[in-house]
Structure 1
Amino acid sequence: MSGGTGQVVSEGLLKIEDCLDAEGNIVLPPGVTLISLIDRNIASVGDAVAYRYLDHTGTDDVRAVELTWAELGVRLRAIGARLQRLAAPGDRVAILAPQGLDYVTGFFAAIKAGTIAVPLFAPELQGHAERLQTALDDARPTVVLTTSSAAGAVEIFLDDLAGVPRPQILLIDEIPDSAGESFENRAIDVDDVSHLQYTSGATRAPAGVEITHRAVGTNLLQMILAIDLLDRNTHGVSWLPLFHDMGLSMIGFPAVYGGHSTLMSPTAFLRRPQRWIRALAEGSRDGRVVTAAPNFAYEWTAQRGLPEAGEDIDLANVVLIIGSEPVSIEAVDMFNAAFAPYGLPATAFKPSYGIAEATLFVSTIAPDARATVRHLDRDQLTNGKAVPVAVDAENAVPQVSCGQIARSQWAVIVEPAAGAELPDGHVGEIWLHGENIGRGYWGRPDDTRATFGAALTPAVGGHADGVPADARWLRTGDLGTYLDGELYVTGRLADLVVMGGRQHYPQDIEATVAAASPLVRRGHATAFTVPDEQLVVVAERASGTRRADPAPAVDAIRAAVRQRHGVDVADVRFVPAGAIPRTTSGKLARRACRAEYLDGTLRGQ
């Protein structure tokens, strides 16, 4: 079979050794794209299951729907043929479908048809209409792929959009397999854009990262090598939204070597986190199983997802990627304590760092390593230095190691204003380089130059060794440091609380707030500054505290923050559960919360 470069790709399943040069660096073989990988799997393991969806709607009984590689191929040709009638090569095709196998086939079909996939979400996702509108206005899709069940909501949403050319709507589940007879093979080059990955919008408006086939292929190989997913008998289990970069990676890595992933909806997980645990245990019986989630999901599952008495749950072969910034050691400890009795290995957790602009994966700990934490001096952190202290030190701030940088990728810690690499032990902005980095932001040349085109002044013997002197670097906006060769992610530049010339990390203040009063809902407090360096805390009420007088809690929070951080809180607001905005990936949206606080639209304030 041939790729877009015109060179022949060898038959059979992809072998990882074919993707490494003599020095062990990742080099994609000619013509390898997401579509060529799927074609390999169709030819080699066509009857094997590629994707399984656990449908929990309707009744308590789960309904498993499966798609083999051969069946996937049929659906891609059918959907792709219909797309080719409506869209030209390079046009954007937005997926506004519910979680499920139709989403998977729609995403891959858009790429196979020669168009650029734009993985988004159906309008039924509450609280994110503005993000969806921003993405559609930015990408200007020619076609929207959805399903018959979501078509009505999609029609209404598109009718209400102002200033956006009306895309045509194509219903994935109403396209017959026979439509594939008219499909025309399109040449796909490894440097073509595969899809636009929209950022979460945690610190700024969502932007569409141009992810090329080279970037996605390189990043999937980086993840597979770093987490040791080389065995075809390694399965994926995920409830993460398929429009999220980690959700996409969970359907991407099986394509590399013909494995499979089991999917479910985020709603199914949130309502009953035991469903996630049962799916992991089922996969663990047949081989290694890998999953991924942010801090809150592991905490939620430890609280609400314990198996029923006598239930046969064995998590001996589970790998758990935890990828929030920063990773919470409390979440790791809570989950380990809850599920160690069910065979969960001490090495199961893999604290990791990733970012959409790098396709996703940047670093993680070694396959046989345990999650570890270093405690850093809070006062030194505010001055940009990572100084380890004893765990019981008064100013100790826990930081979880995100391990080593992925193969064929570089990460440096930089003083952002000067663009100069900092020594280990200094906190600065994380800059990245590698073939997994996206091409830029769709339609935003100025932002692309500023973010993807940074020039570095490297340190002698630093972490940029091996990168050409004239190379361009990605500014991540994330803060971190190196200690003993491992990366620690300390926070985000845009979220820093700057008062009196000192920099405070909001998550550190938020932890103090949560510990100060039981009125605060765990993991649901935000800290930010408003004009004139005034510190504001917004906290959701814990369950069962709706009628409690907040005054004592407000006094306790102010006292705790003043004692631990040396700053005064100008305002403490308690709001109902669910009032603090979050990103589509579940992160606290401090920027959005600050905006709602200032304009008076924050619910319950």
Structure 2
Amino acid sequence: MDRGHVDAPDGLLRIEDCLDADGNVVLPPGVTLISLIDRNIANVGDSVAYRYLDYSRSAEPVVFELTWAQLGVRLRAIGAHIQRAAARGDRVAILAPQGLDYVAGFFAAIKAGTIAVPLFAPELPGHAERLDTALGDSEPTLVLTTAATADGVREFLSKLPPARQPQVLIIDEIPDSAADDFAPVPIDVDDVSHLQYTSGSTRPPAGVEITHRAVGTNLIQMILSIDLLNRNTHGVSWLPLYHDMGLSMIGFPTVYGGHSTLLSPTAFIRRPQRWIRALSDGSREGHVVTAAPNFAYEWTAQRGLPDAGDDIDLSNVVMIIGSEPVSADAIATFSAAFAPHGLPPTAFKPSYGIAEATLFVATIAPTAVPTVIRLDREKLAGGVASEAPADDADAVIGVSCGQVARTLWAVMVDPDTGEELPDSRIGEIWLHGKNIGRGYWGQPGESQRIFGARLTRRRDDGSHAEGVPDDANWLRTGDLGFYRGGELYVTGRLADIVTIDGRTLYPHDIEKTVADSSPIVRRGYVAAFCVPANQIAGATTQDTGDQLVVIAERAAGTSRSDPTAAIEAIRSAVSQRHGIAAADVRLLPAGAIPRTTSGKLARRACRAEYLSGVMAGR
């Protein structure tokens, strides 16, 4: 546990203080996000807390920094203005671009006794509907933004009904002197700190009520599991701050006074080398941790290789890869590209997380390398995880997400009966622990269904629910997975499952087949889903049941290529490997497939656009 551990300065939280005699995570009394920040201000106030690399003005970054002491002043100054407009428990939404103002606004809303709602500025393309949904759901009294985006925010808010229009507060126009007007507010560990809106990949976005106990517990779980115990461990992240993983990257430094370096998602997408350079700089300072989904590692391996002569050192980097499921190809491609720059075999940490659990659920051990297994395709379709023979070219690749976090329980359950399943059976992942959110804001019925599940039967031997009371509530994650050798594997989303003629197939498996079938297909930009046969173009009245639809984006430089041969190759590959026919295959321009705000495929939205005829217009 203490590899490279550096004792915390007097007054800072010690990890040992967060563990009981049995090693379970138990937060000390009074520990909240704000109390952690206050400890850092008092004990390491002159140390950098957050650094932002601004690439919006030039090719080289303009660097902005906040020490813990400076952050404390900003929190009180912004908090004083929040208190003038909002009462305790009111929602305060952050609609600002990535940067230190966003960080300060988020923590200030919590410090002021309100409930922070981390969202995004309306300038984010393609997500106006999600923003409107979140604002309508949370009904904020106040919106925090910056001078650069204030006009766009006001224009967006003006379209809301008058009764729903919140006040607007411009963060970067608040002087530090306003800090003197802040009135301290008592904050309880079971108060809601913020609403974390889900990505909307399989259902409309919902605001998860995250308490201080949940976020504090989850940060300790993450620090223990990934071995972030050294105060010289720092974060580097371009992940959006309205995303659960992005928030965790600014959350873990609060525990022991470390720091995180931030970039914007746009800066990363335009030049992924920027992420690599920031990681290299951090690697020279000490241990550095980052996190990203599959597509980011694939994109960086394609477009982010160092220039000739670049001195890149990734020898001290930990790379969390969190997607459902994790891509073995993404790990292999990135590792091959950056091993010459010192990336160790143990750098990648395939992980599993979900917003309803604050974020972190499971990862592999700090000294472990990723475990990749080959699964029998037919048995997998029948709900059983069984290793395939070594010479089975048709095997499905699975990646271990390692061990479940300390003081968190995960069981595989038959979602229809509520019974715990054996390790080799694929079931819905149910979770229990103090890092679980309190429910969905304003949705008591759905909260009870998702957060109040009960196990009807546990396994007689080797139950993964051992230690949890029989009458405990469990979180239905909507994710499917299985256990093997004590490690958790995630196989996909329950809502995304493709069921045709009684066979169960995983969309990401079909999508990989499509991407492999033709160079015209843009890798990572394929969506496979089912629709009723009579709603497919060219269908006849005799067509019944559900049929497979494949939507793929064209790879760069193929916009003028005749798609006929590629479509036939896709149909043939899907039929041969999966034993089903693709009733409709479409090759569309880049950007045609909707994605969530975190970059995941939004298959539900893609299916809706297909059924509405929007796809036909592209």
Could you say which TM-score interval applies, normalised by the shorter chain?
Answer: over 0.9
Q: Aligned residue for 1:499?
A: 500
Distance 1:226 1:109 in 2: 29
Q: Aligned residue for 2:466?
A: 465
1:563 is the counterpart of 2:576: yes
Deviations for 1:226-282, whole angstroms, at most 9, x for unmatched residues?
000000000000000000000000000000000000001000001011100000000
Distance 1:213 1:11 in 2: 23
Segment drifting more, 403-412 vs 303-312: 303-312
The match for 1:596 among 609, 613, 617 is: 609
Counterpart secondary structure, 1:194 = strand
1:515 is the counterpart of 2:513: no
Counterpart secondary structure, 1:547 = coil
Counterpart secondary structure, 2:397 = strand
Distance 1:463 1:504 in 2: 26
Distance 1:77 1:143 in 2: 17
1:576 is the counterpart of 2:589: yes
Offset at 1:394? 3.2
Q: Following superposition of structure 1 onto structure 2, how do residues 194-273 of structure 1 map, counting pairs within 5 Å?
A: 194-273=193-272
Q: Aligned residue for 1:368?
A: 367
Q: Aligned residue for 1:420?
A: 419
Q: Aligned residue for 2:434?
A: 435
Q: Aligned residue for 1:112?
A: 111
Contact 1:140/1:164 (8 A) holds in 2: no
Q: Aligned residue for 1:450?
A: 449
Segment drifting more, 387-396 vs 377-386: 387-396
1:341 is the counterpart of 2:340: yes
Q: Which amino acid aligns with 1:214?
A: R
Counterpart secondary structure, 1:490 = strand
Q: Aligned residue for 2:536?
A: none
Counterpart secondary structure, 1:386 = coil
Q: Aligned residue for 2:301?
A: 302
- What's the C-alpha RMSD, in Å, of the aligned pairs? 1.0
Q: Which amino acid aligns with 2:38?
A: D
Offset at 1:555? 1.3
Offset at 1:306? 0.9
Offset at 1:515? 1.2
Q: Which amino acid aligns with 1:545?
A: T
1:552 is the counterpart of 2:536: no
Q: Following superposition of structure 1 onto structure 2, how do residues 52-71 of structure 1 map, counting pairs within 5 Å?
A: 52-71=51-70
Offset at 1:163? 6.8
Q: Aligned residue for 1:5?
A: none
1:122 is the counterpart of 2:130: no
Deviations for 1:327-378, whole angstroms, at most 9, x for unmatched residues?
0010000110000001111000000000000000000000000011011011
Q: Aligned residue for 2:319?
A: 320
Segment drifting more, 265-274 vs 304-313: 304-313
Deviations for 1:433-459, whole angstroms, at most 9, x for unmatched residues?
000000000000010000000001221
Distance 1:138 1:349, change over 3 A: same
Q: Aligned residue for 1:406?
A: 405
Counterpart secondary structure, 1:346 = coil
Counterpart secondary structure, 1:229 = coil
Q: Aligned residue for 2:600?
A: 587
Counterpart secondary structure, 1:420 = coil
Q: Following superposition of structure 1 onto structure 2, how do residues 351-362 of structure 1 map, counting pairs within 5 Å?
A: 351-362=350-361
Question: Which consecutive unaligned segments of at least 5 residues does structure 1 have?
Answer: 1-9
Q: Aligned residue for 2:16?
A: 17
Q: Which amino acid aligns with 1:459?
A: R
The match for 2:554 among 523, 535, 541 is: 541
Counterpart secondary structure, 2:440 = coil
Deviations for 1:120-154, whole angstroms, at most 9, x for unmatched residues?
00001000000000000000000000000000000
Q: Which amino acid aligns with 1:467?
A: V
Distance 1:191 1:279 in 2: 36
Q: Which amino acid aligns with 1:497?
A: V
1:280 is the counterpart of 2:293: no
Offset at 1:391? 4.2
Distance 2:413 2:86 in 1: 43
Q: Following superposition of structure 1 onto structure 2, how do residues 3-82 of structure 1 map, counting pairs within 5 Å?
A: 12-82=11-81
Offset at 1:491? 0.3
Counterpart secondary structure, 1:595 = helix
- Aligned sequence identity (%): 72
Q: Aligned residue for 2:171?
A: 172
Counterpart secondary structure, 1:451 = helix
Distance 1:277 1:40 in 2: 32
Contact 1:410/1:432 (8 A) holds in 2: yes
Q: Which amino acid aligns with 2:505?
A: H
Offset at 1:162? 3.7
Deviations for 1:296-353, whole angstroms, at most 9, x for unmatched residues?
1001111111111111111110000000110001000011000000111100000000
Q: Which amino acid aligns with 1:236?
A: G
Distance 1:88 1:82 in 2: 11
Distance 2:467 2:432 in 1: 11
Segment drifting more, 388-397 vs 332-341: 388-397
Q: Aligned residue for 1:3?
A: none
Question: Which consecutive unaligned segments of at least 5 residues does structure 2 have?
Answer: 1-8, 533-544
Distance 1:441 1:395 in 2: 41
Offset at 1:519? 1.4
Distance 1:264 1:341 in 2: 25
Counterpart secondary structure, 2:319 = strand
Counterpart secondary structure, 2:312 = coil
